[in-house]
């Protein structure tokens, strides 16, 4: 199942959920804002960056969710983390990293190079299979655990979470539980899932979107993201040659362009001779 998109929705809806995993959460935990950040001029994308509120101590939190073996995980995570801090060195005073593993066996085999960071007190590793019974966890952590349990146990656990969510009037939790089950049982019809969970899915469009995403397992999404990433990288290189260094404010706008817009920019930039041409093109896109 597409756990990345599930955890994105979890953290986007409930950013405070990350701090339930942290031994010493900040006092302003409820005010943090979650973002998935692509670091400028690289192919790096950080799973989750939790930005502090303006009136709080400027500690930025980084999250990584890992459900498969990746020997380069720590290389990538710390490279992304420090590159982000370099790009935003004026804004933040400190950082903390949370790496969420499905289990310990997914940790990289050799962590010697990163031992100082991993043992620094600024990094916390969480293993979902060691959190205990789903029924003994807060609702948010229960949702995390629901993503990893086998289908044979998923329905009963989902019903439990749904009942808890109803009692607490947490409609967002109900929707997320439903989404997770749709991902897990992507071959079942809406009626079958309704009967299985004992509820009425009142949002058919959301149901169809989640079901389609689960069925595709990110196949097309992965191809699209790959094409978009390549196009953005090429466009940035060409722009640097054509008009020189690009200001951060324009880079942010370019990062937000769709694949179609990037392809259009790739053609238009051949006529650019100055940064002003790029600014005008981006302004036209925003108002078009």
The distance between the two most distant Cα atoms of the chain, rounded to a whole number of Å, is 63
Could you list the pLDDT tens digit for every one of the 288 residues in the chain?
567 778 888 888 888 889 999 988 888 888 898 887 665 444 456 778 898 887 778 899 999 999 999 999 999 999 989 988 888 877 888 999 999 999 999 999 999 999 999 999 999 999 999 999 999 998 889 999 999 998 888 999 999 999 998 888 888 888 888 888 888 887 887 778 878 888 765 544 445 555 556 555 555 555 566 677 777 887 887 888 778 888 888 888 888 888 888 888 887 877 788 888 898 888 888 776
Domain membership of residue 238 (yes or no) is yes
Domain residues for 271?
Answer: 234-287
Q: Residue 60 is part of a domain; what is its CATH number? A: 3.40.1350
pLDDT of residue 114: 96
The reply to whether 124 and 87 lie within a common domain is yes
Q: The pTM is what?
A: 0.65
pLDDT of residue 221: 53
pLDDT of residue 216: 58
Domain membership of residue 226 (yes or no) is no
pLDDT of residue 158: 93
Domain membership of residue 229 (yes or no) is no
Query: Looking at residue 50, what DSSP letter applies?
Result: E
Q: What is the CA radius of gyration of the chain?
A: 21
Domain membership of residue 4 (yes or no) is yes
The reply to whether 201 and 276 lie within a common domain is no
The reply to whether 141 and 203 lie within a common domain is yes
The reply to whether 246 and 140 lie within a common domain is no
Domain membership of residue 227 (yes or no) is no
The reply to whether 21 and 7 lie within a common domain is yes
The reply to whether 3 and 96 lie within a common domain is yes
The reply to whether 51 and 175 lie within a common domain is no
The reply to whether 17 and 125 lie within a common domain is yes
Q: What does the alpha-carbon distance between residue 163 and residue 107 come to, in Å, rounded to a whole number? A: 35
The reply to whether 213 and 255 lie within a common domain is no
Domain boundary among 74, 97, 130: 130
The Cα-based distances of 104 to 24, 108, 203 in angstroms read 22, 9, 38
Domain membership of residue 51 (yes or no) is yes
Q: For residue 280, what are the contacts with CB-CB under 8 A and spacing of at least 6?
A: none
Domain boundary among 130, 164, 182: 130
**Residue 287, phi then psi, degrees to nearest 5:** -100, -5
Nearest to 14 by CA among 184, 141, 137, 131: 141
The reply to whether 23 and 97 lie within a common domain is yes
Domain boundary among 197, 221, 245: 221
Domain membership of residue 151 (yes or no) is yes
Domain membership of residue 228 (yes or no) is no
Q: Given strand 59-66, what is the order of strands in its sheet?
A: 33-38, 45-51, 59-66, 94-101, 123-127
The reply to whether 206 and 244 lie within a common domain is no
The reply to whether 26 and 149 lie within a common domain is no
Count of the separate structural domains present in the chain: 3
């Amino acid at each position: 199942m597409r756990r990345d998109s599930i955890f994105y929705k979890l953290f986007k809806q409930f950013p405070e959920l990350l701090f339930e995993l942290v031994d010493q959460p900040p006092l302003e935990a409820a005010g943090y804002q979650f973002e998935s950040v692509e670091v400028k001029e690289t192919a790096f994308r950080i799973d989750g960056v939790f930005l502090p509120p303006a009136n709080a101590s400027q500690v930025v939190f980084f999250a990584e969710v890992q459900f498969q073996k990746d020997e380069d995980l720590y290389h990538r995570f710390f490279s992304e983390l420090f590159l982000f801090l370099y790009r935003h060195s004026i804004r933040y005073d400190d950082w903390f990293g949370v790496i969420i593993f499905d289990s310990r066996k997914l940790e990289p085999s050799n962590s010697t190079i990163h031992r100082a960071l991993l043992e620094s007190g600024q990094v916390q590793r969480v293993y979902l299979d060691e959190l205990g019974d789903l029924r003994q966890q807060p609702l948010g952590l229960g949702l995390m655990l629901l993503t990893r349990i086998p289908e044979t146990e998923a329905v009963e656990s989902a019903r439990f979470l749904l009942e808890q969510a109803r009692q607490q009037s947490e409609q967002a939790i109900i929707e997320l539980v439903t989404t997770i089950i749709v991902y897990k049982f992507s071959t079942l019809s809406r009626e079958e899932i309704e009967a299985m969970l004992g509820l009425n899915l009142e949002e058919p469009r959301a149901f169809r979107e989640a079901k389609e995403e689960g069925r595709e397992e990110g196949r097309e999404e992965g191809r699209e993201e790959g094409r978009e990433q390549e196009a953005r990288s090429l466009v940035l290189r060409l722009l640097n040659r054509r008009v020189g260094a690009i200001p951060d404010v324009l880079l942010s706008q370019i990062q937000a362009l769709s694949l179609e817009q990037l392809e259009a920019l790739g053609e238009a930039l051949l006529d650019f001779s100055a940064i002003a041409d790029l600014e005008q093109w981006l302004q036209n896109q925003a108002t078009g």
